[in-house]
A and B are shown apart, each in its own frame.
Chain A
Amino acid sequence: MDTSVVLSMKGINMTFPGVKALSDVSFSLRKGEIHALMGENGAGKSTLIKVLTGVHSMDSGEIRVDGISHPVINHSPEEAQKVGISTVYQEVNLCPNISVAENIFIGRHPRNVFGAVRWGEMNRRAELALGRVGLESVDVTKSLGDYSVAIQQMVAIARAVDFNCKVLILDEPTSSLDDKEVDKLFEVMRRLKEKGVGIIFVTHFLEQVYEVCDAITVLRNGELVGRFDVKDLPRVQLVAKMLGHEFDDLASIRVPEYEKKAHTDAPEIVRAIGLTHDGTIKPFDLDIHKGEVIGLTGLLGSGRSELARTLYGADQPDSGELYFKSRRLKANEPINAMKAGMAFLPEDRKEESIIGDLSIRENLVIALQAKTGVFKLLPIATQNELADKYIKALSIKAPSPETPINQLSGGNQQKVIIGRWLITNPEFLILDEPTRGIDVGTKTEIQKLVLKLAGEGMTIMFISSEIDEMLRTVNRLCVLRDGMKVGELSNVDLDRPRVMAAIAGGKLL
């Protein structure tokens, strides 16, 4: 084994029921290298990492870690940690109801001679660990759940870093961070790199790969495409390798005629007057016209998701009035909003969207079934018909409609959720971060779908943390800051610098 290589995986094979998830994949990581693992959804990135950390067991293959003379087979993430492999997953996997410090030291509390936990020592060391990732302002004795997802993610990273790790795996760590936090994370990554830690970085953000990585390994359909040095692989080629075909330029998908459409004449579909949700959203007014794609943007914690949730009744508004198609809507519960003609795709796919053990079919029809009521069961033939139709229309990749949704990749899960709402035939569709943690190909598909639906007369609210994505899809953009709607930009004003300026602060022109 080359001494500079800290981790090598050879000939990894892994099968899920009916799907070959990895076939003969190899991967090697050098000391002090930041190595991007790229690929579309279902390419096998997550599976490879789960095999490495012992979440899944591989069918065959060999894993070697620097300093260990025999091949390593991990049976659990704990075992992986012992050999020096730590992971921060895409979704934060910590306990929100215990303190930040406890989360960092879970399972390895510092103890005194009597075995009692040394709280002071633990808190001090927790602060130290957080200091290393630049999170000095966090009170380590407070519950983790009191902090935003972004901070929780950073805590997870601090925890992983605190282990004396040789290999740090970051699985989509940046998808819930804002730009500043991403910069901070990169700083930490570079610091670790200097110490000789090998970092596997899984992300969908191309810019970030080029900013921070040294090497790229590309997977496609569970097979290895190749390992490349970042400097030898231009962006376009990387995308081409990931997709396996020529890059369908994202910039070209914007439909030109659509831009010129004026929506102010179209009938109003949503009107909010002074709608408030205490603690997250200050009173706001909003008019949305039929056929419009309205975007909500702002930094993390600016209240963009909360505003959408208040409209849908996912969070009960504390004051204000909401009119839907000129009729007063008391949206205290989602079902009221649904019956009026709204649909809502929430930000947190795992927690709030997918119903894990249920099949794709059941996940697709559940919203319509809830709308029609308990005594009007959709005949199984209708359910199958709908499932087949939407699996085809949204090109959901799955062995069968009866496959449990949690066996699908993130992008396919999201497509099912979109299908679930399209089946209810809504007039107003709210998409909160529909492309988060999803591969480039599916992102493009979703953006195209949004434009297509809008073209057919559906009104859409689109929320994304990627400004470029918003610019391509929306024709009006609401900017939020600190729970307040600070302004709107429409067609002509929609360019990146202006939006950035609006988000960052200062007055809108």
Chain B
Amino acid sequence: MKKLHFKNIVRMQLFLPLFALCLMLLINVIITPSFFKVSIMNGVLYGYTIDIINRASELIILAVGMTLVVASSKGTDISVGAVSALSAAVCVRLLGSSYDAYAVPLAVAILAALGAGLLCGAFNGFLVAKLKIQPMVATLILFTAGRGIAQLISAREINGVMVPGQILYVRMEDYKRFGGFLPHVVIPTPVFIAIGFVLITWLLLNKTALSLYIKSVGINQKAGRLVGLNSTLIIFVCYMFCGVCSGLAGFISSSRIYSSDANNIGLNMELDAILAVALGGNSLGGGKFSIAGSVIGAITIQALTTGLYAMGVTADQLPVYKAIVVVLIVAIQSEEFKRWKSLYRIHKMAGKGVTE
């Protein structure tokens, strides 16, 4: 009993997400016994677990941004996937497809990608925070228009005419490093980017009062205003931040395929990101949040995806299996389920005549 009291609240919050992740890994290892096997192939680490943390990188970044959006505005940004594609298109278009040199310095292109994300986030933020449009409706605009803009940006000269909607390639070898491997490093680069990004975000939230502000605005906007918080600005900043996350994720994705594919980069990622937030034990009703939870949630989803692929499930059947698992995990975390559990406990106690 005493131990329970001393248990850190954060740990209690993270218990279920961690449990879900472990369960997922356990099922994976039962079905695919070689699941945890890691070998070195072509000088880099290779295995399902490596694949999971590698592929989860973009999702982790998006989930972090989504967490703040959900916490502050009680709504979701469904444009993150489309904005990723848009940012990727900006980056790749700027870099050009020469074999000899980038058209602009690499840093400029990366900043432009992040900047494009920031602008999109600012647009969403303006609609949500200032015009008070419901988040889902507000972000629906870029959800649909974002890929269209990405198509327009992905234009290439064919027979003297600029034709949009092309797949542009970056031919420089070192561009592949961001989505692949750095020389002599056995761990995929996206993992480092994701870890660094999560760390920076964590510092930003917890070494300033931002975390407290976001929670307060998300829980009680009126009270937040009366204690002097500018909820409009806070929500706006969260959407901008989420935009930057989308930009970064888009950049990594484009580096993986050293091209910009406006139709496929970040496809359905918004759903996985929202799911990661929910799996992380965060309420989609806003308020308290846990970045760590969302990161675990993102890894869980990727573990599920990779696990299903390992079992030979094809990409088009994937959503069905995913849905089943997601329903189970979300149900276990629901308030109603917890209530049933406690009721069951009471009935059991009443049956035994125990009065504690």
Contacts and interface: CB of A to CB of B under 8 A. Distances in A.
Contact of A374 (B208, B220, B349): B208
A217 to B, nearest CB: 22
Interface stretch (A321-329, A356-364, A480-488): A356-364
A355 B208 contact: no
A366 B222 contact: no
A354 B216 CA distance: 9
B27 to A, nearest CB: 33
A13 B223 CA distance: 34
Contacts, number: 99
A334 B226 contact: yes
A353 B223 contact: yes
B103 interface: no
Interface stretch (B178-186, B227-235, B295-303, B327-335): B227-235
A378 B206 CA distance: 11
B208 A335 contact: no
Nearest to B353: A60
Interface in B200-255: 206-210, 212-213, 215-216, 219-220, 222-230
A352 B220 CA distance: 7
Nearest to A359: B9
B232 to A, nearest CB: 10
A357 B219 contact: yes
B355 A374 contact: no
Interface residues of A, number: 41
A334 B215 contact: no
A339 B229 CA distance: 12
B226 A352 contact: yes
B324 interface: no
A98 interface: no
B342 interface: yes
B148 to A, nearest CB: 36
B131 interface: no
Given A75-B343, A352-B222, A355-B220, A377 B227 contact: no
B223 A334 contact: no
A374 B210 contact: yes
Contacts of B342: 57
A420 B219 contact: no
A357 B215 CA distance: 9
A346 interface: yes
A338 B230 CA distance: 13
A354 B223 contact: yes
Nearest to A13: B355
B228 A367 contact: yes
B315 interface: no
B287 interface: yes
Q: Most chain-A CB neighbours within 10 Å: which of B228, B288, B350?
A: B228
B3 interface: no
A392 interface: no
A70 interface: no
Given A355-B219, A356-B220, A366-B216, A374 B209 contact: yes
Contacts of B223: 351-355
A335 B226 CA distance: 8
Contacts of B343: 57, 75
Given A355-B220, A358-B215, A377-B207, A366 B288 contact: no
Nearest to B227: A367
A355 B209 contact: no
A38 to B, nearest CB: 27
Nearest to B210: A374
Nearest to B354: A60
Contact of B350 (A60, A353, A356, A358): A60
A64 B229 CA distance: 49
Interface in A381-425: 402, 420
A59 B215 contact: no
Contacts of B349: 59-60
B356 interface: yes
Given A370-B213, A377-B208, A377-B209, A402 B226 contact: no
Contact of A355 (B210, B216, B230, B355): B216
13 contacts: A13-B356, A59-B349, A351-B220, A351-B222, A352-B220, A354-B223, A355-B223, A355-B224, A362-B215, A365-B212, A372-B209, A378-B209, A420-B227
Given A358-B288, A373-B209, 17 more contacts: A13-B355, A312-B226, A314-B225, A335-B228, A339-B228, A351-B222, A352-B220, A354-B220, A355-B220, A357-B219, A358-B219, A366-B212, A369-B212, A370-B209, A370-B227, A375-B208, A376-B209
Q: Which 8 A-B pairs have the closest CB atoms?
A: A370-B228, A335-B228, A367-B227, A338-B228, A352-B222, A377-B209, A60-B355, A355-B220
